[in-house]
């Protein structure tokens, strides 16, 4: 659903929050120019790095850290995907979107959320509710304090 919602054309720079196994990261790598992916759990990131390397994609950069801060060094992004539920929309991620860029993020409680697509405009941002979802908690400074 994430990948379909974004309608990627192949020239985009994408930020993924939550590398996980690296599966979605590899799919993104085939659909855009470059993927920057942030994972907070180092052993998970290392396992994903091995899987991504084995898939022979070369347009992926990985970072271990608090994904709620995004990866400002490479902003702005045409798309940002968050793979965990946040209590509110993390403003640092909105700030790292290019004008016209889209952020896909689950927002709500720890047990269930609404999936939002936020589009950055010249005057701010426009949210659009997509569907009900259930994700693990987004842990970090601009998310939940602990899992």
Residue pLDDT, tens place only, 34-58: 999 999 999 999 999 999 999 999 9
Any domain includes 142:
no
Alpha helices of the chain — where are they, by DSSP H?
A: 2-6, 23-31, 42-54, 91-95
Contact between residue 79 and residue 102 where contact means Cβ atoms under 8 Å apart: yes
pLDDT for position 146: 78
pTM given for the model: 0.95
23-31 helix and 42-54 helix, angle to the nearest 10 degrees: 50
Any domain includes 92:
yes
Tokens 């052993």 identify what position? 43
Any domain includes 143:
no
> Where residue 10 falls among pLDDT bands split at 50, 70, 90?
very high
Any domain includes 127:
yes
Any domain includes 115:
yes
Residue range of the domain that includes 14: 2-133
pLDDT for position 1: 85
Any domain includes 146:
no
pLDDT for position 77: 98
Domain total of the chain: 1
Q: What is the CA radius of gyration of the chain?
A: 14
pLDDT digits (tens, 9 = 90+) for 91-120: 999 999 999 999 999 999 998 999 999 999
| % of the chain exceeding 90 in pLDDT | 93
The mean pLDDT value of the chain amounts to: 96
pLDDT at 147 > cutoff 80: no
> Where residue 2 falls among pLDDT bands split at 50, 70, 90?
confident
Q: Which of 116, 75, 73, 129 is nearest to 97 (CA)?
A: 75
Any domain includes 95:
yes
Any domain includes 145:
no
Query: 114: domain CATH number?
Result: 3.40.50.150
pLDDT digits (tens, 9 = 90+) for 56-96: 999 999 999 999 999 999 999 999 999 999 999 999 999 99
């Amino acid at each position: 659903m994430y990948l379909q919602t974004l309608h990627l054309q192949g020239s985009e720079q994408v930020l993924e929050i939550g590398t996980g196994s690296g599966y979605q990261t590899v799919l993104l790598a085939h659909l855009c120019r470059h993927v920057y992916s942030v994972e907070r759990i180092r052993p998970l990131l290392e396992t994903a790095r091995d899987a991504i390397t084995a898939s022979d994609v070369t347009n992926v950069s990985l970072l271990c850290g608090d994904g709620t801060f995004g990866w400002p060094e490479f902003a702005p992004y045409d798309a940002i995907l968050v793979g965990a539920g946040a209590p509110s929309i993390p403003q640092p991620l909105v700030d790292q979107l290019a004008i016209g860029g889209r952020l896909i993020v689950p927002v709500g409680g720890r047990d269930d959320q609404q999936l939002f697509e936020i589009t950055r405009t010249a005057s701010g941002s426009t949210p659009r509710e997509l569907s009900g979802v259930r994700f693990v908690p987004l842990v970090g400074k601009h998310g939940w304090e602990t899992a």
